[in-house]
Amino acid sequence: MGIASWVDTHGHLTDEAFADDVAGVLARAQAAGVSRLLSIGTTLGSSRACLELAERTPGVWASVGIHPNHAAEAQTDDWAHIVALADHPKAAAIGETGLDRHWDFTPFPVQEDYFARHLWLARKVHKPIVIHCREAEADILRMLMADHQTHGPILGVMHSFTGGLSLAEAALRLGLYVSFAGMLTYKNAADLREVAARLPRDRVLLETDCPYLVPVPLRGAVKRNEPAHLIHTAACLASLWHMTPEAVAEQTTANACRLFRLP
Ligand SMILES: [Zn+2]
């Protein structure tokens, strides 16, 4: 077995939290074996910035999209620019998109409109969709199932998954992958660990969702999460799957490369 090589499938590397030391963050990721990562766009500006980072950094890819919590502030032309960026060779995914009833930054019908646009765009360019779901599980499933009825299975991921087994299994049936972030390691997340333990190994991804969701044991000790910290969530998954970290790396990296078509 070779040296473990991980993919952080969801980080916000162009967040202002990383403004001072992106180079250091990327170097620490490499040193930790996190050799590939997706920097996730949440606005037109951050989607452009993620692509610029990906263009100049081997091992980094971008997603382009408008996050539900930012949809209300999008300008009229922004979506047309996102559509144009989606063809970029380093745009590996569409999003992040989805629905969020926890925050009230964007009227819900506007969130639904943008989620539908991203579903359309992902199919148009044949790239996977990155889905954010917060306190909106029934709404997400309703829209995904309507889309599935018309168009069939969709490539993509339910990112930073916190739902139950039935939601995970519904997502898998629609064609999606399920991605776990640092929450998997939290003391109060026994139910989530039970879900992760039971999912098919070839449909699970790992992510940091940095700068958010610092995993245990760093939680509380550091304020900012970063891709190098993926290995703690990975260690948790390894114990749930009764596998070595190296075997989990091999499996989840193969999954990420298959979904996002990474070399
Ligand atoms: Zn995110």
φ and ψ at 9, to 5 degrees?
A: -85, 0
What is the distance in A from the centroid of ligand 1 to the CA of 218?
20
What pLDDT score does 203 carry?
A: 98
The arithmetic mean of pLDDT across residues 50-75, rounded, is: 97
Q: In what order do the strands lie in the sheet with 34-40?
A: 6-11, 34-40, 60-64, 91-100, 129-134, 156-158, 177-180, 204-206
pTM for this prediction: 0.97
What is the distance in A from the centroid of ligand 1 to the CA of 33?
21
| HEC assignment per residue over 57-118 | CCCEEEEECCCHHHHHHCCCCHHHHHHHHCCCCCEEEEEEEEEECCCCCCCHHHHHHHHHHH
Mean pLDDT for the chain?
A: 97
Give 85-144 pLDDT, tens digit per residue: 999 999 999 999 999 999 999 999 999 999 999 999 999 999 999 999 999 999 999 999
Measure the CA–CA gap between 247 and 20, rounded to whole angstroms.
34
Q: What is the DSSP letter of 214?
A: P
Question: Do residues 151 and 171 make contact, with C-beta atoms less than 8 angstroms apart?
Answer: no
- β-bridge mates for residue 177, sequence order: 157
Q: Token pair for residue 17?
A: 């939290």
What is the distance in A from the centroid of ligand 1 to the CA of 206?
13
What structural domains and CATH numbers belong to the chain? Answer: 6-260 (3.20.20.140)
What pLDDT score does 2 carry?
A: 53
- β-bridge mates for residue 62, sequence order: 39, 91
What is the distance in A from the centroid of ligand 1 to the CA of 11?
6
What pLDDT score does 1 carry?
A: 42
Report residue 163's pLDDT band, with 50, 70 and 90 as the boundaries: very high
